[in-house]
Structure formats: C-alpha cells, structure tokens
C-alpha cells in the first residue's frame, strides 16, 4: 500500500445554490432515472473490499496523512492506522473517526491518484453515511493534474457530501475562474425521498464530454454542462480525475463536533466501481 501526504487543502465554499438558482442555470433537479446495467465485464475499476478484518491489502488506495485544519479548517488528523481505516471483515471498507481522551480526533482520507484515473465513465460507490454533529463524509473526484496546477484549477467533482445529521445531499463541481481564488461553484442541495444516514445507498457520477450528472440510487441530483459556466470560468472536466473517500470532522461548514457526536463513528463503503458509458 502506497502512503502519501495529502497535498490538497482546498477551501470549502458553502454549497448554497438552491433549486431556483439551479433552474435558472439550466441544471436538472432531482428526478427518477433508470438504473444502469450492473454487468461486471463493463467495469474498468472495481473495489469490493472483501477479505478478513484488518488493514487494506496493497492496491490502488493511498492514504492522506496529516490535517488538523485542512480544507475547511477541520478538526481531524488523517492517518493510515487500521483503527481509522481498514476492512471490517464483512465486505466493507470502514473509515472511522475517533476522539481520544485528550480530545484529538483522527480519521482517514483515501485516494487513487496515479493508480487509477479516468476521463469518461460512471463512477459509483455504495456507502452507508454516518450522522452526527460536525460530521462531513464525502465521495468526490479531483483533477489528476492538481499537484501541477493546484486547486481549483484542476477541478473538483463532489459526488456526495452530507453534513451533521445527513438530512440533505450536497453535490456539484468547482471550476477555475479568472480572478477568483475559489473558482465558480455549481451545486445542488436538498432532501431526497428516503433517508441517507445509516443506510447503504449508491452514489454516482456520469462523466461525458461537456457534461456531468450526479445522483443517488435511481434519483438524478444535478446535471451540469459547459453552458452553466460564468464568464471567465474554464471547463476542466474532460481530463483524467481520481477518486477520493473521506470522513472529515468539524470546520467552518458543518460546525464543530461536540459531546453529542457519537465517537467512534464509521462511514462504511460496500464497493467502489467505475464502468464505461
């Protein structure tokens, strides 16, 4: 297993674009869609997380190490400790946030930079998201050239993020924009007609030239195209991107963890797959 420091300390902008803004921008609000074919032979990447309980075996995942203020002024330190990240023995990846007696919070972030990147296709992960004050789990993508050009120039695709009690989804993209340190954010948020916290759901993104669609199970969340860009914003999403999974704690967006946060708390990932479309 390759272990790497996490170099991406992007500032999170609050995902505050609401339904009326999305409609004005031409984005598609949540709707029912047909479920994609599950044929295994169409996968270009498939991680099933089978095996005995313990550390992840050698494979495509690297670990970000460090933190304590990354991105959103978060509270957690990311580690590769099996207490924070590993197989649970029941076919899942367990990403666990813990708080010790001194108040230090540890968690994990995994990514596939240099080992798996893709330009076009459908990436999906079946995840049981945790809930609790200050929790911020995510499944997302970053442009493979981020080490060369930085954030947001490389682009970011947020497949799913939830905050606190996970009563709403957050999804969208960050694109570079001339004169802006944070770039343009095109995003959507809101409730879906079923619970997200504590239940396995399939979160997905479909990438085709000039178009990004995200969803959960059979519900489409947002559709974003080049036509949604503001003047001075660049479409950088037709290049290779890599996958990330993490459980962040605290920060300016979800707020801080407190005595009600149910430490230790775990984000369970059943599988991650990418298929051609």
Q: Catalytic amino acids?
A: 156, 161
3-class SS of residue 146: helix
Q: What string of DSSP letters covers 12-67?
A: PPP----HHHHHHHTPPPSEE-PPPP--GGGEEEEE---SSSBSPPSSS-EE--EE
Alpha helices in the chain (DSSP H): 19-25, 70-73, 146-149
Beta bridge partner(s), residue 99: 105
* Interatomic CA distance for residues 141 and 126, integer angstroms: 16
* Interatomic CA distance for residues 101 and 230, integer angstroms: 48
Is the Cβ–Cβ distance between 176 and 150 less than 8 Å? no
- Sorted by sequence, the CB contacts under 8 Å of residue 147 that are 6+ apart come out as 7
* Interatomic CA distance for residues 136 and 192, integer angstroms: 18
């Amino acid at each position: 297993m390759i272990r790497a420091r996490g170099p991406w300390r992007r500032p999170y902008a609050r995902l505050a674009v609401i339904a009326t803004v999305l409609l004005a921008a031409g984005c598609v609000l949540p709707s029912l869609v047909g479920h994609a074919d599950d044929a295994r032979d169409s996968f270009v990447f498939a991680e099933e997380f089978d095996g005995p309980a313990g550390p992840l075996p050698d494979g495509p995942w690297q670990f970000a190490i460090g933190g304590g203020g990354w991105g959103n002024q978060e509270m957690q330190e990311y580690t590769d400790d099996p207490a924070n990240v590993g197989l649970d023995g029941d076919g899942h990846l367990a990403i666990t946030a813990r708080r010790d007696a001194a108040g230090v919070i540890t968690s994990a972030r995994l990514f596939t930079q240099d080992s798996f990147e893709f330009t076009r296709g459908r990436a999906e992960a079946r995840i049981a998201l945790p809930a609790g004050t200050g929790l911020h789990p995510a499944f997302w993508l970053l442009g493979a050239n981020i080490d060369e050009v930085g954030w947001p120039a490389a682009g970011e695709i947020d497949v799913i993020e939830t905050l606190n009690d996970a009563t709403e989804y957050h999804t969208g993209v960050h694109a570079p924009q001339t004169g802006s340190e944070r770039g343009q954010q095109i995003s959507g948020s809101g409730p879906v007609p079923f619970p997200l916290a504590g239940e396995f759901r399939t979160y997905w993104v479909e990438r085709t030239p000039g178009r990004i669609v995200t969803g959960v199970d059979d519900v489409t969340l947002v559709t974003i195209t080049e036509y949604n860009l503001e003047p001075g914003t660049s479409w950088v999403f037709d290049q290779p991107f890599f996958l990330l999974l993490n459980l962040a704690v605290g920060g300016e967006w979800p707020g801080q963890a407190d005595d009600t946060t149910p430490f230790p708390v775990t984000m369970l990932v059943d599988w991650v797959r990418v298929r051609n479309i």
